[in-house]
Structure 1
Amino acid sequence: MKKGEQVLDTWALDSKGNRTTDAADAFNGILLPLSYKGYGMAVVIDMLTGILMGSGFGGMVDTPSSFPLVGSNFIAIKTEAFCELDEFKNHVDALIDEIKQVKLEQGTEKVFMPGEIEFEQRVENLTNGGVPLQPFQIDELNKQAARFGFTLDEYIK
């Protein structure tokens, strides 16, 4: 969005409900579910996190000021009630392998699974001694630390 790139006209609506290719307009509007499966998942998630939890749902949670209406739902599934755990793990591995073997689009090096980028970043951060910070972030952290009478020199490298 910050780069001024466009999105597909099937991805989002602007704040007035019109299809848009402008990423900034999409940010101020709504992201559309991608395909019928995305639509189905969006409806089920809204039911489980909104309606079932007694929180807001649908258009009730469409602005930053509606944050108190946002609900959460955590579901625990006993995998063994449906299949053997080893069978489940093997099928998950097979699905991951299938997804990773798709033909890549031009300019794409790899298909990532959900959470994989963050996991790789965490490993890199732990290996390299911490989270990389931009100079402006370090300046702001130092300003806040000074307000409370201490420095961060020994913590920030």
Structure 2
Amino acid sequence: MGSLRVYATTGLLIASLSTLVHAAKLEDTAPYPKAEAGFSRQVIYLPQQSEEENFKVELIAGKTLEVDCNRQRLGGVLDEKNLEGWGYPFYRLEKVIGPMSTMMACPDGKKTRKFVPVVGDGFLLRYNSKLPLVIYAPQDIEVRYRIWSASDKVGTAIQE
């Protein structure tokens, strides 16, 4: 379990450095449109991996809110679009609703600032380091990401 955590942390560090190195090159890739009013364009550059088919990228959109002891979530759907004439995908988070919350009693009444994620469809993507991930989201939404990898262990189903 500890080595998985180290691997995940190392992967995020490499991905973050990769994003910083490539930040000025989006226009060199393709003519992605500028963000519309009220939206921001957020870009992720993934580091190259051997056997990229064994990886996925989870986009974690959300915002930091004052929350109590209840579990908070925002709702939304990430839609994949196509850059006309290029065939490159980009993603758009059109509308974010909420926050939605459990209704537990919070005896201490304390509130803290916490990142509240958007949950919905379309947030787990194929890993492809050859193209940047371009996400258009409402201006108050921050996009974070996590890299997932497949285990080397493969189980076999039992015929019954």
TM-score range, shorter chain: under 0.3
Greater radius of gyration (CA): 1
Structure with more contact order per residue of length (Cα contacts < 8 Å, sep ≥ 6)? 2
When normalised by structure 1's length, the TM-score is 0.22
Bigger helix fraction: 1
Bigger strand fraction: 2
When normalised by structure 2's length, the TM-score is 0.22
